[in-house]
Amino acid sequence: MTSDELRVRFLRYFQERNHTIRPSTSLVPTDDPTLLFTSAGMVPFKSYFLGQDKSLIRAVSCQRCFRTSDIEEVGKTNRHHTFFEMLGNFSFGDYFKEEAIAWAWEFLTKELALPGENFWISVYKDDDEAVRLWSKIGLRPERIVRLGEESNFWKMGEIGPCGPCSEILIDQGKDIGCGRSECSIECSCDRFLELWNLVFTQFDCQLDGELKPLPKPNIDTGMGLERLACVMQEKKSNFETDLLFPIIERIIQITRVEHKKDEKKDTALRIIADHIRSLVFLAYDRVYPENVGRGYVWRSVLRRASWQGRHHLKIQDPFLYQLVPVVINIFPSVEGLLHQREYISKIIHMEEERFIETLNLGEPLLCNRIRSSVNKGEKTLSGKDIFELYDTHGLPVELIKEVAREEGLSLDEEGFRREMELQQMRSRAFGTSFKSTVASSVQIPTYQTEFIGYEEFTAEAKIIAIIKDGLEKEKAKSGEEVEIILDKTPF
Ligand code: SER
């Protein structure tokens, strides 16, 4: 069953049960200053959950989502992503646990005919009602596992709608995952795949942590389309499904690497395939490379992907833009995506060119910094140094780590994390109010601007280029919005 068909089957199943189909919204949440990105299917429905909007009681969607919380796992496992689609059905003060559980089970085992004996269920430790409802459907007691807050109480960030949840996991068999005899649904390997999360949204978490009961309990469910496709297409990994494999094939074609010969290369292929989907859809939703907020995240994702290509697949030139057409082909039904093909390719191409220039400048700097640490007899590269190389000089952390380790230096990861947290706070604070323009993302790599900010705060400078919508112009009129490039600047 293709992914296109799975989307349709899911939406139709719940439409037949009186749910209104809602199209996917942007990856940039509208009117929600608490979030940088749409990270779950329920995000566009927050006002319904909170009882502020009462115009809808049941909805179903396939929402495009972006999360960076699992970015370190991406490519190393078969199932983690930064960009993914979430299938979800929602009840706003209407039906509750009983229907949510019964329909989820019926959809998987009847509509999709997946074998019921392969499923495992987790429930929140105190949720006797959920245990009773799963038993009523026919689940054997040993297949229903009670777990704690960590895995079975769903919250999105610090505040907002939340509640206990019940997960449906599928046992993919001993051949997938760690292979240990004691492997269970709590193991972090790929064997027990969490397919669907049913959240029983009963509370509105306040800033001080208080769980305020919502006027009426709600249902928020989320099932990863990539994971469902993996199971339905009988693949071992999400990256082998029709949602991702065509991208891997294209990377192989461009780089001529051999697939399934070297785990590092395969991991790089998966990371790039994941990241390019994020870059395309964030650009489609008007996120552009910038040094703060969402644009900063976009830029970091591009750098990670580009560096994987350079380091592991030995590709020196920009290549990510060449993957844009294949990503777009996978999503024929996304409105206006095809139309934006040239534009998205251009943004990605320019930014990658710029990054490669950064690397050409930054790599020697990194080597110097490491050499001087080694010469001084230091054993660790400080968190501040790592952060500066990463944030100011644009070097991916993986690159810094690998080079440092090769020279026998360990890394002050804790210090680096602290610096990152500070940066994220600055980034979040900015996320609510920033406005980006196409022009601000455009950099013309052939121009050289001398940075004089170490000595001067003000200076006289010459305009060496005027850019509008990515193109160079001879002049600009008063009141027109353009980018200017100066021969030198203290900024
Ligand atoms: N909000 C829940 C999740 O993201 C279920 O949709 O898992």
Give the distance (Å) from ligand 1 centre to CA of residue 281: 20
**42 close to ligand 1 (CB < 6 Angstrom):** yes
Strands 20-22, 58-66: pairing kind: parallel
User: What is the residue with the minimal CA distance to atom 4 of ligand 1?
Assistant: 40
Residue predicted with more confidence, 489 or 325: 325
Split at pLDDT 50, 70, 90, the class of 439 is very low
pLDDT reading at 468 higher than 70: yes
- Distance, CA 452 to ligand 1 centroid (Å)? 49
Cα(165)–Cα(425) distance, integer angstroms:
29
Rounded to the nearest angstrom, the distance between the alpha carbon of 216 and the centre of ligand 1 is 18
85 in Cβ contact with 47 (< 8 Å): no
Over the stretch 58-103, which tens digit does the pLDDT of each residue have? 999 999 999 999 998 999 999 999 999 999 999 999 999 999 999 9
Indicate whether 183 pLDDT > 90: yes
Alpha helices in 153-244 (DSSP H): 225-232
Give the whole-angstrom CA distance, residue 32 versus residue 39.
12
- For residue 472, pLDDT over 80 is answered with no
**What is the pLDDT averaged over residues 26-31?**
92
From 38, 42, 43, 196, the mutation candidate for ligand 1 (largest count of ligand atoms within 8 A of CB) is: 42
- Residue 195 predicted with pLDDT over 80: yes
Closest CA to 184 of 171, 199, 197, 196: 171
Mean pLDDT of 9-25: 98
Mean pLDDT, range 368-394, rounded to an integer: 89
- 412-425 burial, b for 16+ CB within 10 Å, e for fewer? beebbeebbeeeee
Q: How confident is the model at residue 399 (pLDDT cuts 50, 70, 90)?
A: confident
- Ligand 1 centre and the CA of 472: distance in Å? 45
pLDDT bin (cut points 50, 70, 90) of residue 207 is: confident
With a cut of 90, say whether residue 184 has pLDDT above it: yes
Task: For residue 82, count CB atoms less than 10 angstroms from its CB and return exposed for 0-12, middle for 13-18, buried for 19 or more.
Answer: buried
How much is the average pLDDT of 12-17? Answer: 98
- The answer to whether the CB of 197 is under 6 A from ligand 1 is yes
Give the count of beta carbons closer than 10 Å to the beta carbon of residue 128: 11
Q: Please give the Cα distance from 270 to 82 (Å, whole number).
A: 11
Residues in the chain, overall count? 491
Q: Is the CB of 255 under 6 A from ligand 1?
A: no
Q: How confident is the model at residue 430 (pLDDT cuts 50, 70, 90)?
A: very low
- The residue nearest atom 6 of ligand 1, judged by CA position, is 222
Query: Residue 136: what pLDDT?
Result: 97
SS3 123: strand
3-class secondary structure, 316: coil
224 lines ligand 1 (CB under 6 A): no
User: 126 CA to middle of ligand 1, Å?
Assistant: 20
| Domains of the chain, each with CATH number or no CATH | 3-238 (3.30.930.10), 244-379 (no CATH), 450-489 (no CATH)
Banded pLDDT at 427 (limits 50, 70, 90): low
For the segment 104-114, the average pLDDT, to the nearest whole number, is: 98
How high is the mean pLDDT of the chain?
91
Evaluate if residue 353 carries a pLDDT over 70.
yes
pLDDT at 394 exceeding the cut of 70: yes
Distance from the alpha carbon of residue 93 to the mean position of ligand 1, in angstroms: 17
Helices 263-284 & 245-255 angle (0-180, nearest 10)? 110
Per-residue pLDDT at 83: 98
> Which of the four pLDDT bands, split at 50, 70 and 90, describes residue 490?
confident
Q: Is 41 in the pocket of ligand 1 (CB under 6 A)?
A: yes
Residue 122 clears pLDDT 80, i.e. is over it: yes
Q: Are 491 and 463 a contacting pair, CB within 8 Å?
A: no
Q: How confident is the model at residue 481 (pLDDT cuts 50, 70, 90)?
A: confident
Measured in Å, residue 154 CA sits from the centre of ligand 1 at 7
Give the whole-number percent of the chain exceeding pLDDT 90. Answer: 70
- Mutate-to-test residue for ligand 1 from 22, 200, 220, 226, highest number of ligand atoms within 8 A of CB: 220
